[in-house]
Amino acid sequence: MTTTYTCEQCEVMMIQGVRCHETGCPDAWQDETRICSWCGADFQPESRWQAFDDDSCFSSYHDIEEPDSEFIQSS
């Protein structure tokens, strides 16, 4: 069975079983597995510049206190 991979921005090829976009493809980040800059966990990014696997790692890395849930008002 052959699986076809497509990209709207380039011609995608399989090289030794690895999906490869053309050099400079703006959508190539979607196939990356990244390592969280805070906890070191592997994750699939949801945006091109994402460096953390979730908001708690982002907050910890930037030393931002998360708001107490008791003080958050629902609208």
Report the percentage of the chain scoring pLDDT > 90: 32
Query: Is 34 within 8 Å of 45 (Cβ atoms)?
Result: yes
Domain count, the chain: 1
Residue 41 lies in a domain: yes
Q: Are strands 18-20 and 13-15 parallel, antiparallel or unpaired?
A: antiparallel
Three-state secondary structure of the chain: CCCCCCCCCCCCEEECCEEECCCCCCCHHHHCCEECCCCCCEECCCCCCCCCCCHHHHHHHCCCCCCCHHHCCCC
Residue 12 lies in a domain: no
Which pTM does this prediction carry?
A: 0.61
Residue 21 lies in a domain: no
| pLDDT-derived band at 34, boundaries 50, 70, 90 | very high
Residue 59 lies in a domain: yes
Report the percentage of the chain scoring pLDDT > 70: 81
Residue 36 lies in a domain: yes
Residue 52 lies in a domain: yes
Residue 51 lies in a domain: yes
Residue numbers of the domain that contains 58: 29-69
